[in-house]
Amino acid sequence: MAAASFTSLASQLSSSSSSSQYLRRPRFVDQIDSINLLRLSSSTSRRGGYISRNRLVVSAASGSSGKFFVGGNWKCNGTTASISKLVSDLNDAKMEADVDVVVAPPFVYIDQVKKTLTDRVEISSQNSWVGKGGAFTGEISVEQLKDVGCTWVILGHSERRHVIGEDDQFIGKKAAYALTENLKVIACIGERLEEREAGKTFDVCFQQLKAYADNVPSWDNIVVAYEPVWAIGTGKVATPEQAQEVHVAVRDWLKKNVSVEVASKTRIIYGGSVNGSNCAELAKQEDIDGFLVGGASLKGPEFATIVNSVTLKKVAA
């Protein structure tokens, strides 16, 4: 297959916000003026088939053969009353049929949501323990999650990695245990701003992918979520071309390091300030197979708009 060159992540930054805005990074680092995103140097040195400074050359790839996937991560938000309203809005929303839709409420509201939300939407946990339950204060076991109706779990989210301190291998082992117990996994990967500026986007993402690959028994029930940390909750979003570039690289890594079949079947979704306004252009990209949505998933009508962006995927195809 002919090699295709893709433009650098570093060279394409969203112009949706003025340079005077501040890019809010996660709380473990200081605020930084978003104009610093433009101070990305370039290099032409090659390493292992990939060009450094976030520019790469990979085999031409195509999107997943699986169904479009949209997950809503509610994080540590909500009350009994607000979640009741959100569930009501989701129940009333018209959502395209050919999309897998999943929401991840806070642990204490999973049972409430399961009992009141339409069966059209599956329930995910935001985390799970690395093994069977027992004397692990504050943890939630896979068995308990299944008992209350969860069919998915989000693992490897940047807030678990960089705030809580979970490392790649620990996350890989958690994914392996969940899959062994028939809980499907949304496996998150993504680089921090300083890693991106240093030209390490692909190194970081591939290292995180390898930790999953080294541990999981199968990729049949895994959705990979690429979430650049610099875009999560900041209002900054990767341009469609930036996101597509990383998704192509991830699919190519799976092809070379796992199998051609896994690369073809695995859905790779994008997360990072996805909303009702930017989802359409992102959905048109060939290797973006859906979204993992944060803040916008707390608004029923807007979340439905993101789900329905699958129609733009069909048009693009």
Burial class (CB in 10 A: 0-12, 13-18, 19+), 228: buried
The answer to whether 247 is a known catalytic residue is no
* C-alpha to C-alpha distance for 291 and 289, rounded to whole angstroms: 7
DSSP 164-212: I---HHHHHHHHHHHHHTT-EEEEEE---HHHHHTT-HHHHHHHHHHHH
Cβ distance 145 to 108 under 8 Å?
no
Q: Which residue has the tokens 């690369």?
A: 263
* C-alpha to C-alpha distance for 151 and 142, rounded to whole angstroms: 10
* C-alpha to C-alpha distance for 268 and 186, rounded to whole angstroms: 10
Q: Which residues touch 104 (CB under 8 Å, ≥6 apart)?
A: 71, 72, 73, 74, 123, 124, 125, 126, 152, 154
The answer to whether 227 is a known catalytic residue is yes
E-strand ranges in the chain read 3-5, 22-23, 32-33, 46-47, 50-51, 57-59, 68-73, 99-104, 122-125, 152-155, 184-189, 222-226, 267-270, 290-293
Joined together, the tokens standing for residue 216 give: 């999981």
* C-alpha to C-alpha distance for 279 and 286, rounded to whole angstroms: 13
**Of residues 227, 245, 247, 302, which has the active-site annotation?**
227
Q: Would you name the residues annotated as active-site residues?
A: 157, 227
